[in-house]
Structure 1
Amino acid sequence: MANDKVEGRNPVMEALKSEREIDKILVAKGAKEGSINKVIGMAKDKGVFIQYVERQKLNEIAESNNHQGVIALVAAYKYTEVEDILEIARRKGEKPFVILLDEIMDPHNLGSIMRTADAVGVHGIVIPKRRSVGLTATVAKTSAGAIEYVPVAKVSNIAQTIDKLKQEGLWIVGADMSGDKDYYHEDMKDAIALVIGNEGKGISRLIKEKCDFLVKIPMVGKVASLNASVAAATLMYEVFRQKNTDKQRL
């Protein structure tokens, strides 16, 4: 069985009992008989997100022929806490550099973002519990090993996390085409959290309002936006450049 899936009613119940990190549980629509209700009840008690899907969807992603109408998508790697990410920066004597991902759904995007984050010295990444890809085997593979070195925290509420980071002295910078400045004209040398939005919708309205300022990436082509991981890499390297230029002057 794949290391990011648990299939079948009893295996899923055991995964719930063992406190294993579970991103979400997929349940076949209309499945209510027998032990499926117990799985649903246990998941709700533990605050695990449940998504009801067509049985054909389960058939497509199942590794076995015995999913019994339920598949748990589990984390391939352990998550950390936001406080631990900030502590890493403190131990290194560096200003915190954090990435906030607002509903990134593509595992390849998350893996690529992690790879760049490792290259530029990001202290950690924050993702929401719902409507977001988790630390799957695909993410691990795409990260090319960076998943071993870049801490990822999963939070219930990104907006509340932004408030917490602001209290810790971080500036919140969102990547959005409505930004007042091109990204390279904004001072990003201080403690900072970069917000990267969903592949299709961008940053949600509430999160955008929480940002201290928005920056845009100038483009002259026909396509109106960049891939999320490319936009994230562009901004991360600008922060890296500014921070290192500042160090070289000292």
Structure 2
Amino acid sequence: MGRRPHPRSQKSQKSPFPRLYGRHAVFAALANPERSFRKLHVTHEMAGKYEMPKGVTIQYGDDHDLGRLIPADAPHQGFVLEVDPLEPAWLGDILAEAENDGQNRPIIILDQVTDPHNVGAIMRSALAFGARALVTQDRHSPGETGALARAASGALETLPWCRVVNLARALGDIGDAGFWRIGLDGTAPTTLAEALGKTQPALVMGAEGEGMRALTIERCDQLARLPIAPAMESLNVSNAAAIALYAAATRVL
């Protein structure tokens, strides 16, 4: 008789709904009134340490039971929450808010950044530095996943995320609304600080290696670079986004 495989070595069970894992991501989702929940999976140990939410179907199990629900070696920390996806924010609402509230807060736009860890980390930085929203193209960006939610560290539940059909058209609408569209490009002659000035910025970033597509670059008002040392060719896109958002948040207006 063959040896039974360890449960963590088995493929995770498929689900048509996002499964969020880890205490921070799960608790942030549970606290979001816009979320609809399907089932909370929790270990007996964690259930004894935390008060379980009301009105949510709960399935108790052990570490191996929860491990089978998510990718191998994903750190669930005793919690896996199956949810309905959030409704995407509407870009028109974001632009109308910007016109009416008078706050100089950036929008960040990602052109074909597909790694969920990077997108989640960018969401975390965007929320930390007061960005209005994240804009991505729906066909060339990750959906809601446990990996993205964990990297976002709660920001998935709070930061408006606009997933648009046509990114070039969205950039046109953003420009018409008075945003100065700055594309981050390591070869640009102008630094980001110089390009930011006192504008209301829309920071545009492309995928690592490939960068922004030609049509995206055409829709930018200006290209700018981060002033990194020549010894380093480029930064991870999430690190670059964090620096750009910090620069926008701390400039003197």
Question: What TM-score results when the alignment is normalised by the length of structure 1?
Answer: 0.65
- For 2:246, the aligned partner's letter is Y
> Which residue matches 1:84?
93
Q: What SS does the corresponding residue of 2:178 show, helix, strand or coil? A: coil
> Given the alignment, which residue of 18, 27, 50 partners 1:4?
18
Unpaired segments ≥5 residues, structure 1: 6-60, 65-73
1:62 and 1:114 map into 2 onto residues whose CA distance is 25
1:187 and 1:148 map into 2 onto residues whose CA distance is 28
CA contact 2:105–2:249 (8 Å) conserved in 1? no
User: Counterparts in 2 of 1:226-245, with a 5 A limit?
Assistant: 226-242=235-251, 245=252
Instruction: Give the superposition deviation at 1:210.
Output: 1.5
Q: What SS does the corresponding residue of 1:108 show, helix, strand or coil? A: helix
- For 1:141, the aligned partner's letter is R
> Given the alignment, which residue of 216, 221, 231 partners 2:225?
216
Instruction: Give the superposition deviation at 1:62.
Output: 9.0
CA contact 1:75–1:135 (8 Å) conserved in 2? no
2:101 and 2:149 map into 1 onto residues whose CA distance is 25
Unpaired segments ≥5 residues, structure 2: 1-13, 20-67, 72-82
> Which residue matches 2:39?
none
2:222 and 2:88 map into 1 onto residues whose CA distance is 28
Instruction: Give the superposition deviation at 1:91.
Output: 5.2
- For 1:219, the aligned partner's letter is I
> Which residue matches 2:119?
110
Of 127-136 and 74-83, more deviation after overlay is shown by 74-83
User: Counterparts in 2 of 1:153-192, with a 5 A limit?
Assistant: 153-192=162-201
Instruction: Give the superposition deviation at 1:238.
Output: 0.5
Instruction: Give the superposition deviation at 1:199.
Output: 2.0
RMSD (CA atoms): 2.4
> Which residue matches 2:32?
none
CA contact 1:75–1:136 (8 Å) conserved in 2? no
Q: Does 1:206 align with 2:215?
A: yes
Of 103-112 and 175-184, more deviation after overlay is shown by 175-184
2:197 and 2:154 map into 1 onto residues whose CA distance is 27
Instruction: Give the superposition deviation at 1:228.
Output: 0.3
Change (3 A) 1:188 1:150: farther
Q: Does 1:145 align with 2:159?
A: no
- For 1:200, the aligned partner's letter is G
Q: What SS does the corresponding residue of 1:154 show, helix, strand or coil? A: strand
Question: What TM-score results when the alignment is normalised by the length of structure 2?
Answer: 0.65
- For 2:123, the aligned partner's letter is M
Change (3 A) 1:77 1:230: same
> Which residue matches 1:126?
135
- For 1:139, the aligned partner's letter is L
Q: What SS does the corresponding residue of 1:165 show, helix, strand or coil? A: helix
Instruction: Give the superposition deviation at 1:75.
Output: 7.1
CA contact 1:98–1:122 (8 Å) conserved in 2? yes
